[in-house]
Amino acid sequence: MASGFGISRTVLRKSGQRLNFGSIGKQCDHSLQVVRCSANAAAPNTGREPRLKTFSVYRWNPEGKSLPVMQKYEVDLDDCGPMVLDALIKIKNEQDPTLAFRRSCREGICGSCAMNIGGINTLACLSRIDPNPKKSTRIYPLPHMYVVKDLVPDMNNFYAQYRSIEPFLKQKDSTKLGVENYQSVEDRQKLDGLYECILCACCSTSCPSYWWSSDKYLGPAVLMQAYRWIIDSRDEYTSERLDKLNDPFSLYKCHTIMNCTKTCPKGLNPGLAIAELKKMLASHNSYKTPIAASQ
Amino acid sequence: MHNRKLIKMSLLSRVLSKQHLVLSNRCRPELFAAIFSANKSSGSAQKQMDDFWAKNKSVNRPMSPHLTVYKPQLTSMLSITHRATGIALAALTSGFAFSTLLPGTAVAPILAFAESLHSSWLGSGFLLDLKFIVAWPLIFHSINGLRHLMWDRASGLKIAEVYQSGWFVLALSALLAVIFILPWNKINQK
């Protein structure tokens, strides 16, 4: 029984990791405050010592009346990829298939796996596991968001705010039809550092101001995209776009805390974009004509 | 032969209809908007937001943790210190100003109290600590205020610059606070 099963398991492991071992291994008891699930059932029989790392993950089940709990999982780092997402997928495959999280590209471009790892918001697929076995890696969903299940937050408010700034090219002059929108090299360079945003929401959910006012404050991600369309030389609705930010909350709830730029997993700078927006709005309100960003 | 003609015709009509859509987007934007509600996005974006709050308030979803889990960083810690020192200074200043309206408030008893502290068993070090506790918030808030003014000009907002200026403000405010509270009259006497 044991040896035959062991052999087949080793063979499967070499060919691919994406097998569901859900029925094998311990079932974890959700009634405990902190629960341990070990990887012993799936450990290879090569006699090598597993290099175990503990992951403490936020869990909440919408079915059932329980409160959120932290659940601990142990993962053999010698049998796992280097990133936190690799560990999460391994946990889901081998230990607990009920663990819910978003993921897609596994290369830091889609923005699905944004979560709070080790206290800061990053993409799980770009966050290297700290190999220190004495510390456990704490994984939470993005802060101050309604939780759908486990590590999955409700992103609909974020998307609605993005939609509200009208993130598309708008032109008034219909005689330009059939002609390309020429843009100089200098004007195109102004968009560098802005268009690369993947809308992962790491920055907005790291902002304490957005925590307290996410109904009215747009947040750094959306504001950076508002700036991206305002300074696009091809867009002709600059004045209207600036007018839309002219209230106490949408833009001006930014107090330059700068958690956003610190946490951006793509290395972008929303704080700087917002500061430029404030300058533009100041001259817009003074002269009632939009003045291009001074750079 | 007949099949190929049918396929060609269907492809052609599909291409033409696509071009027609593109044309209607560019040359008759109001028509396109009316059909596809593109320019009414603020109205329906608002509705999406209202639906979001309505749904989440009715379901018993928990709020993900924030203050208890987010790592304290120089960015957020200096920002909250700026806010806290600002509140403390405002309270102190207006409290002191208000106290002058009250009858019988004079400066002499406060000085006498400070002198008594100096000679008491707590020693002059305790007085210096108290003075530091009053002086440092004022000096930190002022210097960090200059940093904020620099940020308002969109200068020094790269994250490396934010950290450099942050440590600089902390060091400078501690240094200046120590310099300001030293008993210079007694030092110069020597």
Q: What is the pLDDT of residues A141-171, one digit of tens each?
A: 999 999 999 999 999 999 999 999 999 999 9
Task: With beta carbons less than 8 A apart as the criterion, state whether B179 and B130 touch.
Answer: no
SS3 for A87-110, per residue?
A: HHHHHHHHCCCCCCCCCCCCCCCC
Chain B interface with A: residues with Cβ < 8 Å:
26-27, 29, 41-42, 44-46, 48-49, 51-53, 56, 59, 61-67, 69-71, 73, 75-76, 79-80, 83, 148, 151-154, 157-159, 162
Average pLDDT, chain A: 86
Task: With beta carbons less than 8 A apart as the criterion, state whether B146 and B140 touch.
Answer: no
Q: How many CB atoms lie within 10 A of CB A55?
A: 21
The pLDDT value given to residue A14: 41
Is residue B39 pLDDT above 70, yes or no? no
Per CB-CB distance under 8 Å, the chain A contacts of B45 are 160-161, 163-164
| CB within 8 Å of A211: residues ≥ 6 apart | A143, A144, A205, B66
Interface of A with B in 141-160 (CB under 8 A): 141-148, 153-154, 156-157, 159-160
The β-bridge partners of A74 are A54
Q: β-strand A34-37 against A69-76: which pairing, if any?
A: parallel
Model's pTM, two decimal places?
0.79
- Residue with the larger pLDDT of the pair B117 and B149: B149
Is residue B115 pLDDT above 90, yes or no? no
State the DSSP code for A132: -
The pLDDT value given to residue A65: 86
Q: What is the pLDDT of residues A71-83, one digit of tens each?
A: 999 999 999 999 9
The pLDDT value given to residue B36: 52
Task: With beta carbons less than 8 A apart as the criterion, state whether A231 and A191 touch.
Answer: yes
Q: Express as a percent the part of chain A with pLDDT over 90.
A: 75
The pLDDT value given to residue B103: 79
Q: What is the pLDDT of residues B73-108, one digit of tens each?
A: 999 999 999 999 999 999 999 998 888 888 776 777
Q: β-strand A137-140 against A114-117: which pairing, if any?
A: antiparallel
| CB within 8 Å of A157: residues ≥ 6 apart | A214, A215, B49, B52, B53
Q: What is the pLDDT of residues A203-225, one digit of tens each?
A: 999 999 999 999 999 999 999 99
Mind listing the domains of chain B with CATH numbers? Answer: 2-58 (no CATH), 74-189 (1.20.1300.10)
- Alpha helices per DSSP H over B120-158: 123-152
Kindly give the confidence (pLDDT) of every residue in chain A, 295 residues in length, as a single tens digit, with 9 standing for 90 and above: 344 333 334 333 444 444 444 333 344 444 444 545 544 445 454 678 999 999 999 999 999 889 999 999 999 999 999 999 999 999 999 999 999 999 999 999 999 999 999 999 999 999 999 999 999 999 999 999 999 999 999 999 999 999 999 999 999 877 777 788 899 999 999 999 999 999 999 999 999 999 999 999 999 999 999 999 999 999 999 999 999 999 999 999 999 999 999 999 999 999 999 999 999 999 998 876 545 554 4
- Measured distance CA(B150)–CA(A236) in Å, rounded: 31
Q: Is A54 exposed, middle or buried (0-12, 13-18, 19+ CB in 10 A)?
A: middle
Shortest CA gap B67–chain A (Å): 8
Q: Which candidate in A63, A155, A164, A237 is best for mutational testing of the B interface (most B CBs within 10 A)?
A: A164
User: Which residue in A51, A97, A56, A47 sits closest to A75, CA to CA?
Assistant: A51
**Complex ipTM value:** 0.80
Task: With beta carbons less than 8 A apart as the criterion, state whether B92 and B137 touch.
Answer: no
The pLDDT value given to residue B9: 61
The pLDDT value given to residue B35: 53
The pLDDT value given to residue B6: 62
